[in-house]
Structure 1
Amino acid sequence: MLKLAIIFAAFSVCYGQHDNRYFLYTAPNDAKALAIDLTTIPTALPTDLVPSKEVIILIHGYDEEYKSPFNLRVSEELLKKNIPNIIALDWSVRAGNSYPLASRQVTEVAKQLTKFIDWLTDIPATGDKLIDVKEIHLVGFNLGAHVAGMASRNAKNRVGRITGLDPSGSGWGSRSGRLDKTDADYVEVIHTDGSGLLANGIGTNIGDVDIFVNGGSNQPGCFSHSCSHNRAWELFADSIDSTRALAYECRTMTQMKLNNCGTAYIPFGGTLLKKTPNGMIYRTNTGRRHPFFS
């Protein structure tokens, strides 16, 4: 089992935050969840947080919580890669309402996350004791992708990378404050349910790199929009330890839709903080079931 450290209590007291909660996944050690002592906040890092290492913050979507399959599966794969600092943001108090109400809560949730990011990177410390904001990677699914964008956008310094896993489309037009390529040094967006009357995602490019999986909708083996939507985080989880997870550059959206892309490629998903893409539009084709990149 994972050792799960609860790191929200004293932080909430210091900043007056009572809705966002933060959970730190660490290497297997104990069957019980360990509460980190944050009585020294904001003058020291939590004892279980490894300084000078990458920090990955997972942000769930509408009607989910930190024990969602997205968080559990992705954190499990990240731990296999010995990534030490994996934090799950739980905003279930606000996410559990109806979708329109949850959407309206994104701004406040992001505001609280901004304070958390600033706290992580501004703790008085010396040398290698500081968390570098450019080493922070936000991974947001559904509405969580927009939380990630807003939080980084309003932080003292923008984070190194954001991965948007099929960002929510309904109610998130071009002027809505949705996730944007300017929100981090590198923004990668993975599209899996971007077309159709009841689609959950966004069918257009909004990041530095937009990867349209199997054309961006109607995923193989799926017979519902929710299945195609969830495929985004399933694919991201598979990509963490796969050398076959690749996305190929397309010059235009038409090329992408026709599956007529070139041979230039970048790694799909994964944990690299910075990639060097040749273009903005990419496509990958996958199988119907795990492992998707076989």
Structure 2
Amino acid sequence: MKSIDGDIGRAERLQAQAEATDGSRKTASIVWLGYDAPQGIATDATETKWADNAREPLGNFIQGIEEANHVGSGVNQTLLGHSYGSLVVGETMSMHIDLPVDNAIMVGSPGVGVDHAKDLNISPDRVFAATSDHDLINLAPPTSRDPLASGVTPAGPAAAFEAPSADDPATRRALGHSSRIYDALQVGSAPTQPGGGLSTVRDASGTSVHHTWSTEPLPQDERAAAVERAQTFFQSAGWTVRRAPTVEGTPAVVAGHPRDRTVAQVAASTTGAVRVAVTTPATGPASADV
């Protein structure tokens, strides 16, 4: 509950900006936390069960607001989801055909559980999405119904990012996994991009080391072949492997290590590169050879 002040503060600023934009209308901003939210970006948030369990209570809440304001009174309702919350919004809207929502906004989203905006049961031109250029979620493929397919969800308000220590065991594990993935891809790497490289993430579940990097630009068929080689490597090494859809077209590989709980993503990017993200918990085997 420590992050609730930040959530309320954002809601207040959102309301103030809406009223400043159009002073002829009254605006109410509500923070809804009526479900058990995932606490860890590399653990709980790789599962869709939290969103599955939230869609019924959130749907009832939205319907209750409509009824409290008298159906047909002209109240315009906008549903905004941030990070994992955008999956909650997507699940709720896709499962309720007549939900009284006029607009949907997804911020820093790993995916919303549907393939097209029209599947959210409102006009596609009333669905909006925004992500910071440096948000780690840019490395994640869109979330599908598979528990592992969402990959790593970006940190919420309670998370902090810092530079990792070079001699930290988790750093060595993350770099060790990245090195083996690099060997499996069999293509050159590109210089570190903004938002890439190593970082330590601290949130409610503990501490993780995150390593992201990209290959050199490749033709589409070579990108697809590199992703396939990554899948072959993960399977031969005993990782749990899932495929997830991407905007680029080539399904991404999302893999979970059987012992140290590392989650790795290998995804072809529309920029022409193959992007790799490795997240490993701070607690785990001391050796990088896992």
TM-score with structure 1 setting the length: 0.38
Structure showing greater radius of gyration is 2
More helix by share: 2
